[in-house]
Amino acid sequence: MRVRFQISISKSHLTSTRVPLHSSAMGDFLEFQDISKHFGSTRAVDHVSFGVKKGEFFSLLGPSGCGKTTLLRLLAGFEQPDSGRLILDGEDITALPPHKRPVNTVFQNYALFPHLTVRENIAFGPRVAKWPRSKIDDAVAGLLKLTQMEEKADRKPHQISGGQKQRVAIARALINKPRVLLLDEPLAALDLKLRQHMLLELDLIHDEVGITFLYVTHDQTEAMSLSDRIAVMNNGHVEQIGAPAEIYETPVSGFVAAFIGDTNFLDGRVLRIDEEDPNYCLIEVAGLPEFVCYNDKQKKPGDLVHLSIRPEKFHISNEAPKSRSGSKNAFRAKVEDVIYMGTLTKYWIRIQNHRLAISQPHGRFLLDEKPPRWGDEVWIWFHADDGYMLDRFNPSEADQAAEVETAGRPESRV
């Protein structure tokens, strides 16, 4: 459908800032230092500190009202923080007005200038900066090519489609060679198919230009698929920062676990340290037989623990587990619901007062495996490493995250 971007043209214009990704040797390129911002009595951002590395694709992910857009607007200079500092490449930019900051924004609703053509929109920044005519023309031509808008260059914004507006907005923001490109929910206004397509294009553009991207979204799929690192935000503070896999596999809080993907929560108590391996402990959860769990948080007997177990970490079968590790954490359960979803099947199972969500990918689903069916008494089990102890668990926040994230979630928490 779409061809790859022509790398040769834009390289001279845009790749000057290119640096290797994830260069951990370098310090943070962009730093939020203890930033706070109130609107009236609402605390939009509450003592937030973190750093972004040069060239990184960094996402701020969270439900609406979590403060992610405020952080972006603070960085763009549209808002002033009540306290804290913004450091970009070693320079304090906290007090700079928007037009003096070396950052540019891609707005959620594009904010293209309706009285200017596509070409004039892209050339807006350089014209204000009074670049020489030939330099502007070259840069605009390069970006028209990068974003494949050459044929529509003389159209007005109302004459082009949503996806095209999106590309113009990106080109317009990139032409000033910003140190950081800020993207405010750039795909939210597009329909699903176009969104998936633009996701790919954004990724390619990021690889192409090598500029640091700060991406704000409430959509975990977007954040997971594009980002080098994600900051999950809630109620004005950062819950967790990490690579997508890190955040998915080792969430620090109930909120993160519930907001990113589906999960099951189990509240229990450490009974004793495992005799065979002191890295593991035995856990008691009301209504379940005791089971083994990896004890990376060094909990002691008697400590309360909150576990998150992802639905796909469970195994479900009509037969008892055969492996030794599986047999330790195996429970008898009853299937309450089965939803066949093509690539996988979702089960809702019940053990006493626990309702758990389990998803199973299909191997040879219909050929030689007998899948559990509604009402079956089954065995479920999980590996001791797959029960992850949360640092923090706030039931109402976890509920809220689950509600925001998807509909039709299991009521897994007791």
Partner 1 sequence: MSDPAPEPPSLPPPSRSRAAEWSVTAPSLLWLLALFVAPTLIVFAIAFKPADPLGGIGSGWTLDTLRSLANPNYPVIIWRTIWISAVATVFCLLLAVPAGYCIARTSKKLRQFLLLLVIVPFWTSFLVRIFAWKHILHPEGLIKHTLVALHLSPPETPLLYTPGAVLLVMVYTGLPFAILPIYAGAEKFDFQLVEAALDLGCSRWQAFWRVFLPGISRALLTAFLVTFIPSLGSYVIPDVVGGPGSEMLGNKIAQRVFTDRNLPHGAALAALLTVAVLIPLILAVLSRRASAKGGLAKAEGGALR
Site of interaction with partner 1 (CB under 8 A): 76-78, 97-99, 103-105, 107, 109-115, 117, 124-125, 128-129, 151-156, 158-162, 164-165, 172-173, 176, 189
Judged by CB, which is closer to partner 1: 141, or 243?
141
Query: Which amino acid belongs to residue 159?
Result: Q
Q: What is the DSSP string of 226-279?
A: H-SEEEEEETTEEEEEE-HHHHHHS-SBHHHHHHSS--EEEEEEEEEE-SS-TT
Residue 306 Ramachandran class (φ > 0 left, ψ -120 to 50 alpha, else beta): beta
The least CB distance from residue 129 to partner 1, in Å, is 5
Sheet holding 304-309, edge to edge: 291-294, 280-284, 264-273, 304-309, 388-389
Judged by CB, which is closer to partner 1: 114, or 361?
114
The least CB distance from residue 149 to partner 1, in Å, is 11
Provide the b/e sequence for 185-200 (b: ≥16 CB within 10 Å).
bbbebbeeeebeebbe
CB 304 within 8 A of CB 281: no
Judged by CB, which is closer to partner 1: 128, or 339?
128
Kindly report the backbone phi and psi dihedral angles of residue 264, in degrees, each rounded to the nearest multiple of 5, phi listed first: -115, 135
The least CB distance from residue 71 to partner 1, in Å, is 15
Q: Report how far residue 139's alpha carbon sits from residue 176's, in angstroms, rounded to the nearest whole number.
A: 9
The residue among 303, 274, 284, 215 whose CA lies nearest residue 30 is 215
The least CB distance from residue 125 to partner 1, in Å, is 4
Kindly report the backbone phi and psi dihedral angles of residue 139, in degrees, each rounded to the nearest multiple of 5, phi listed first: -65, -45
The least CB distance from residue 133 to partner 1, in Å, is 17
Q: Which helix (H) or strand (E) holds 209?
A: helix 192-209
The least CB distance from residue 120 to partner 1, in Å, is 11
Judged by CB, which is closer to partner 1: 85, or 156?
156
The least CB distance from residue 75 to partner 1, in Å, is 11
Judged by CB, which is closer to partner 1: 83, or 109?
109
Judged by CB, which is closer to partner 1: 110, or 259?
110
Judged by CB, which is closer to partner 1: 192, or 367?
192
